């Protein structure tokens, strides 16, 4: 059974930092692109970043470029999101998700349960 | 970036109704278009990928169509468990943008 379990969310002050983790199991983690998607309270889904299987390609939405860093450790079957210079508008539930089977259509076919990040003083 | 625009933003329907949601992209791309369903407090679930392919385990009342810039999600006969919010997403290029969502409510 595929499982994605996020952790690391919490309350942080504006300008602060937070690191999210996503533990993957039930599939060959090292063969999959992985993504982070967020959802602000009462709002829609926003794709944040993704990372290639070997970690050598990374892409970000403009609003987080230079502040967030996506990374992975294939030996630990783990995905990470380092978030710096946090702003109120970064308040959201953060989901990690798998980008489908390699060579496929890149749909997000498995999702974690999400972890809440609240940026507030 | 490719902008995805869904319509309507919300709709009211009854069990048994046929429901259609549209998604328009700001530029044309081949069929890297996905549809997701999300219920309150839950993670999204993929329904359709490649514009028209049914994800494994998804009921056949869900279907997708379209190409280029215009795509459609259809629910042929709305069931009680289908009241939810639906999102389109392009997975053609990063950033892999979502539409703003369509909330399907009870009439």
- Placement of tokens 């053609």 in the chain: B92
- Cβ contact B34–A47 (<8 Å): no
Phi, psi of A90 (to 5 degrees): -85, -5
Asked whether the beta carbons of residue A62 and residue B95 sit closer than 8 angstroms, the reply is: yes
Beta-carbon separation of B96 and A95 below 8 A: no
The answer to whether residue A102 scores a pLDDT higher than 80 is no
Tell me which residue has tokens 């319509």: B7
Do A106 and B91 count as a contact with CB atoms less than 8 A apart? yes
- 10 Å CB burial of residue A53 (0-12, 13-18, 19+) is middle
Rounded mean pLDDT, A17-38:
97
Cβ-based contacts of B55 with chain A (< 8 Å): 107, 109
Contacts of B1 in chain A (CB under 8 A): 62
What confidence category does residue B30 fall into, taking pLDDT thresholds of 50, 70 and 90?
A: confident
Q: Is the dihedral of CA A34, A73, A119, A90 positive or negative?
A: negative
Calpha distance A99→A106 (Å, rounded): 5
Residue B10: pLDDT band with limits 50, 70, 90: very high
Q: Concatenated DSSP letters for A41-80?
A: TTS-EEEEEEE-TTS--EEE-GGGTTTEEEEEEGGGTEEE
Question: B102 to chain A: nearest residue by CA?
Answer: A44
| pLDDT tens-digit series, residues A71-94 | 999 999 999 999 999 999 999 999
What pLDDT score does B52 carry? 97
Q: Residue A108: CA atoms inside 13 Å, Cβ hemisphere, count?
A: 31
pLDDT digits (tens, 9 = 90+) for A39-71: 999 999 999 999 999 999 999 999 999 999 999
CA distance A61 to chain B (A): 6
* Chain-chain contact of A112 with B43 (C-beta, under 8 angstroms): yes
Interval B87-97 mean pLDDT: 96
Enumerate residues 6+ apart whose C-beta is below 8 A from B87. Answer: A44, A45, B6, B35, B36, B38, B44, B98, B99, B101, B102
- Residue A89 is given by DSSP the state G
pLDDT in tens, B70-84: 999 999 999 999 999
Alpha-carbon distance A30 to nearest alpha carbon in chain B (angstroms):
20
Contact flag A107-B34 (C-beta cutoff 8 Å): yes
Of B22, B21, B63, B54, nearest in space to A107 by CA: B54
Strand duo B10-13 + B102-106: pairing: parallel
Please enumerate in sequence order all residues whose Cβ is within 8 A of that of A94, keeping only pairs 6 or more positions apart, or say none. Answer: A6, A9, A20, A36, A37, A38, A48, A81, A114, A115, A116, A117
CB contact under 8 A, B98 and A44: yes
CA distance B77 to chain A (A): 24
How many inter-chain contacts (A to B, CB under 8 Å) are there?
68
Residue among A20, A28, A111 nearest A77 (CA):
A28
Chain B residues touching residue A109 (CB < 8 angstroms): 46, 49, 55
Question: In whole angstroms, what is the distance from residue A106 CA to residue B26 CA?
Answer: 20
């Amino acid at each position: 059974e595929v499982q994605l379990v996020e952790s690391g969310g919490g309350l942080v002050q504006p300008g602060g930092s937070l690191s999210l983790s996503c533990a993957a199991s039930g599939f060959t983690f090292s063969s999959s692109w992985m993504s982070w998607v967020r959802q602000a309270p009462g709002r829609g889904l926003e794709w944040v970043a993704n990372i290639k299987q070997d970690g050598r390609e990374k892409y970000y939405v403009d609003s987080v470029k230079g502040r967030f860093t996506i990374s992975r450790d294939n030996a630990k079957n783990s995905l990470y999101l380092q978030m710096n210079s946090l702003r109120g508008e970064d308040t959201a539930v953060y989901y990690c998700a798998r980008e489908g089977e390699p060579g496929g259509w890149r749909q997000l076919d498995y999702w974690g349960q999400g972890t809440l990040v609240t940026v507030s003083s | 970036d490719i902008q995805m625009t869904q319509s309507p933003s919300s709709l009211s329907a009854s069990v048994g109704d046929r429901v259609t949601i549209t998604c328009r992209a700001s530029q044309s791309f081949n069929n890297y278009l996905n549809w997701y369903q999300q219920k309150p407090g839950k993670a999204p679930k993929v329904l359709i990928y490649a514009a028209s392919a049914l994800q494994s385990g998804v009921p056949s009342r869900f279907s997708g169509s379209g190409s280029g810039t215009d795509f459609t999600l259809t629910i042929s006969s709305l069931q009680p468990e289908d009241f939810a919010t639906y999102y389109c997403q392009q997975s053609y290029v990063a950033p892999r943008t979502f539409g703003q969502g369509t909330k399907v409510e009870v009439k």
